[in-house]
Amino acid sequence: MAGKKLNDMKIRDARWWFLGLFLFLFLTGWAQKKMFDEIKNSGAYIWGFGQSEDYDKANKLALDDLIGKISVHVESRFKNSVEATSTNLKEYTESVIKTYSSVSLTNTRQLVYEKRKVFYVLRYIKAEELEQIFSRREQKIRDYLLMGTKAQREYRLGDALRYYYWSYALWLSHPYRDKIEVDSDGKKVLAGILLSDRINALLNGIRFQVSDKLRNPEDDNTRVILKCTYQGHKTANLDYTYFTGQGNSVPQEVTHGETEIYLFGAEQQDMEKVVLRIEYKYLRKSYQDRSLSAVLQTVQVPFFKKSVKTVYLSGEKSREARAKKLIQPHFQAVNTLQQKKSFFRKTVKDLLVAISNEDYARAYKFFTPEGKEMFRKLLEYGRASVLPLHDTLKVIRLNDETMVRSVPMSFYFPGSHRYFMENVVFTFNKERKIEAVSLAVSNRTIRDILQHSSHFGSLADKYTLIRFMEYYKTAYSLKRLSYIASIFSENALIIVGTVFKPAKSIDNMYGSIGEKAVRYQKYTKKEYIMRLANVFKSNQYINIDFENATVKKVNGKDKIYGIQIAQHYYSSDYDDFGYLFLMIDLNDSLKPTIYVRTWQPKKNPDGSIYGLNDFKIN
C-alpha cells in the first residue's frame, strides 16, 4: 500500500514538472515574441528577421535582412560611385556594407525563439550604434593616412603607397565620406581628395633609369640594373612587376635606390623599352586586417595610371655579364674600399672581385672551414651577383668578432624566374678569417632594436640580438637544419598556426569576404625539425623578410628577450605573411637558445600577437 502511494506521488510530481517546463517554455517564447514586436515597432532599431527549421540558416537570413535594411539606409550615399561604373546600386551598397559585417555586424544583438520546430531569429542594432561602427572606420582611415605620411617622410615609398591606398579604399567604403575632412597645409580638405593627390604625386615623382645592362649568353637572358629615385632621393621598399619578354614577372623590390630586371627569350634582343607596374594595393599584406581585406576586394577604386612606368633600353649597350668591368670605376663601394686601407674592407673588396670573376678558389682562402661551407651554400642558394650600389659598408666590432655589413648582392632562381636582393654580412673572427656569412635584416628592424635605452642592454647586447636574428633568417634560407636544431632548447615550446577554410561556415555570409580560420598546432623540437626537413627538401628556395620588430627584455639581469616581428615568407611552393614570436636566451652570446617559438598568420581578435606576457618565466 505504501509503495502504491509512493508511485502515485512520483507520477503527480512528474506531471507538475512537465507542466512547469511547458509553462516556462511557453512564457519564454511568448516573452521573446513580445520583445520581437517591441523592437520591430519602436523605431529605435534597425533589424533583420529570418526563420527556418535550421538555426544557422535562420540566423543568416536575419543577418542578410539586417544588411539589406542598413544598405537602404545609406544607399543614396554610394550613388555617385555606382553611376561611374554602371553597377547595380543595391548590390554594390550591400557588398560594401558586408565589409563592416566581417567584424562589427556579426556582433549585433540577437533574439531567438523556437515554435513547432521552426527557429525565429531577430538580429538588430540601435541606430546610434551603427553610427559608432562608421566612426570606427573613419578612425582607421585617419590612422592609415598618418602611417602613410610617416612612411613618405622616411622615403619608404612602398609603405607610403600601401597606407595611402588602403586609407583611400576605406574612405570610398564610408557612407559619410563627404564629411571626413583632414588638415593639409593649414586647410581643411576632404580626406579622399588629399589621399588621391598624394598617391598620384608619389607615383609621378618616382623615376627609373638604366644603370647597367649585362648579357648572359649561357642562360640566354639580359640583366638590366636600374636606379630608382624619388625627388632625388634613393627609394626603399618599393615593389613592382614588369614584362620579361615572355610574360609578367613575379613582384620585385627596390632597395637602397637600386633594383634589377631580367629579360628572356628572343624578344630580349629587340626590346627597346620595358614597362614596369608599381605596386600600390598590397592585397596580400591586407589579410592581417579582415575588414580592410574585405574592402579591397569589394570597393571600386579608380586605377592610378601613373603607376605604369616605361624604361627605354634602346640607347643602352649590353656587355658580357662576367666581365671584370662589373666592379670597376662605377662601383663606388669597391673604390671607397681601395681608398680606405682597412684590412677588413680590403678583404671584402678582394672577395667581391673573386665572386664577380667566379674565381671561387681564390675567394675560399678568406674563410674558415665553417665560413667556407656557409659561403658555398650562399652561392648555391641562387646565382649570386654583386650589385653596383653605393657604399653602404659598415665595419662593426663585437667582442672578438668584426662584422662587415651591407654588401649588396642579388640571387637569381632560373626555374621560377625569381630573384631576391639581399645585403650580406661577413663576420671575421679574431684571426681575421671569415667565420660566418649571413643575410642582413632590414635597416628598420635594426633601428627598432638599437633605439632601446641602456637599461635594455649595451650596444654589444643589441648587436648580438641583431646578429642572432640574421643568423636565424639565413639558416632558413640556406637550409642549415643542424644550426636550427642547435639553437632550440630540447624542451622548446613551438606553436604554429595554420590557416584553413572550414567545411561549412557557421555564418555563410563570411564566404563572400574570404573569411579564414586558424588552427594552432603544438610541436616538440624533434617534430618541428622533422617537419622543417621536409619543407627544405620540397622547396628550391626559401626567403624570409622581417619588419616592424618589437623587442622586450625579461626583468632582471638575465639576457632573455622576446621578439615580436612581422614575417614575410617566400618559397618555391607558396608565400605567406604572419607574425613570429621568439623567446631567446642570449646569456651566452656564442650559444643562443630559443625557449619559445610561435607563428600566427594573423593577429589575435584584440589586435595582439603572442609575446612574453603569454608565457611563465621561472
**pLDDT band of 271, cuts 50, 70, 90:** confident
Could you list the beta-strand ranges (E) of 448-487: none
Give Cα separations from 98 to 69, 515, 583 (angstroms).
12, 12, 39
pLDDT tens digits for range 43-98: 778 888 888 988 888 888 888 888 777 766 665 555 555 444 445 656 666 666 66
Angle at 151 between CA 386 and CA 288, to 5 degrees: 90
Q: What is the pLDDT of residue 496?
A: 83
Cell 678568406, residue? 366
Break the chain into its structural domains and give their ranges: 2-129, 322-440, 449-618
Decide if 322-440 and 449-618 have a common fold.
Answer: yes
Grid cell digits, residue 497:
598556426
Q: What is the pLDDT of residue 487?
A: 93
Handedness of CA 503, 504, 509, 515 (dihedral sign): negative
**pLDDT band of 596, cuts 50, 70, 90:** very high
Domain 322-440 has CATH 3.30.300.30: no
Q: What is the C-alpha to C-alpha distance for residues 513 and 532, in angstroms, rounded to an integer?
A: 32
Region of residue 449 (phi > 0: left; psi between -120 and 50: alpha; otherwise: beta): alpha
Grid cell digits, residue 591:
650559444
- Per cent of the chain over pLDDT 70 is 75
Q: The whole model's pTM is what?
A: 0.57
Could you list the beta-strand ranges (E) of 479-592: 488-500, 517-523, 542-553, 560-571, 575-585
Is it the case that residue 41 has pLDDT exceeding 70?
yes
Query: Under CATH, to which class is 2-129 assigned?
Result: alpha beta
Q: What is the C-alpha to C-alpha distance for residues 368 and 346, in angstroms, rounded to an integer?
A: 18
Average pLDDT over residues 469-473: 93
Average pLDDT over residues 342-367: 87
Cβ proximity of 364 and 350 under 8 Å = no
Amino acid at 262: Y
Phi, psi angle pair for 522, to nearest 5°: -95, 135
pLDDT tens digits for range 475-492: 999 999 999 999 999 998
Is it the case that residue 170 has pLDDT exceeding 70?
yes
Grid cell digits, residue 597:
617559438
Q: What is the pLDDT of residue 330?
A: 29
Domain 449-618 has CATH 3.40.630.10: no
Pairing of strands 238-242, 273-278: antiparallel
Region of residue 402 (phi > 0: left; psi between -120 and 50: alpha; otherwise: beta): beta
Cβ proximity of 361 and 379 under 8 Å = no
Cβ proximity of 243 and 275 under 8 Å = yes
pLDDT tens digits for range 506-554: 233 223 323 345 567 889 999 999 999 999 998 888 888 887 788 998 8
Q: Specify the higher pLDDT residue, 264 or 364.
A: 364
